[in-house]
């Protein structure tokens, strides 16, 4: 399971490109699926809808199933695009604990949007991967997932200022 900062709508595309040929599943806010054409494109790209205000048990089970079978799932723990130090939500920690997953914290630096110029002249993008975080099978109560959420948030932020050999 991959967790990443979220500054613009371009990260999911660039991260999926970095993961290629491995499929990268992603949660996307439900509102993005209102247009049939965009919904189709998002599904082709491995995205599935989530109601951020009221996530369903079916969505949670789908995410846990993906991770449990070894698929890659990208989650943005802050749940929205933000340039500021927004507090992370517990969803990623809950899914990781239920799937007993390894979590890879990622920090993305690059464009927040993609324009025609970016396709003709690719921008500089830095994706830093932190060390895996192993989730204890017993970390499925509210206090444990709250602590894990704080750990994930710190791990993502630590990659921001950490030059590393784990860059793409």
Residue 76, pLDDT > 70, answer yes
128: β partners: 107, 167
Mean pLDDT of all residues in 65-90: 76
Give the pLDDT score at 86. 57
**Whole-number average pLDDT of the chain:** 82
Quick: pLDDT tens for 10-37: 788 888 888 888 889 998 889 999 999 9
Distance of CA 99 to the CA centre of its chain: 15
Q: Where are the domains of the chain?
A: 2-19+53-160
pLDDT at residue number 151: 83
Q: What is the pLDDT of residues 81-130, one digit of tens each?
A: 555 555 666 788 888 888 888 899 988 888 777 777 877 888 888 888 89
DSSP for 55-87, please give it: --HHHHHHHHHHHHTT-EEEE-TT-S--SS-PP
Q: What pLDDT, on a 0 to 100 scale, did the predictor assign at position 165? A: 46
Say how far apart CA 88 and CA 78 lie, in whole Å: 4
């Amino acid at each position: 399971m991959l967790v990443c900062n979220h500054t613009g709508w371009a990260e999911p595309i660039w991260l999926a490109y970095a993961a290629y040929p491995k499929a990268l599943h992603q949660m996307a806010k439900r509102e993005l699926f209102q247009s049939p054409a965009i919904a189709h494109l998002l599904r082709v790209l491995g995205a599935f809808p989530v109601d951020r205000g009221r996530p369903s048990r079916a969505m949670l089970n789908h995410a846990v199933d993906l991770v449990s079978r070894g698929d890659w799932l990208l989650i943005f723990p802050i749940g929205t695009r933000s340039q500021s130090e927004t507090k992370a939500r517990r969803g990623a920690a809950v899914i990781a604990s239920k799937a007993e997953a390894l979590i890879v914290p990622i920090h993305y630096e690059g464009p927040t949007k993609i324009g025609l110029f970016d396709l003709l002249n690719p921008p500089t993008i830095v994706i830093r991967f932190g060390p895996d975080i192993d989730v204890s099978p017993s970390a499925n109560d509210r206090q444990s997932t709250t602590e894990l959420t704080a750990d994930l948030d710190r791990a993502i932020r630590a990659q921001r200022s950490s030059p590393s050999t784990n860059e793409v």
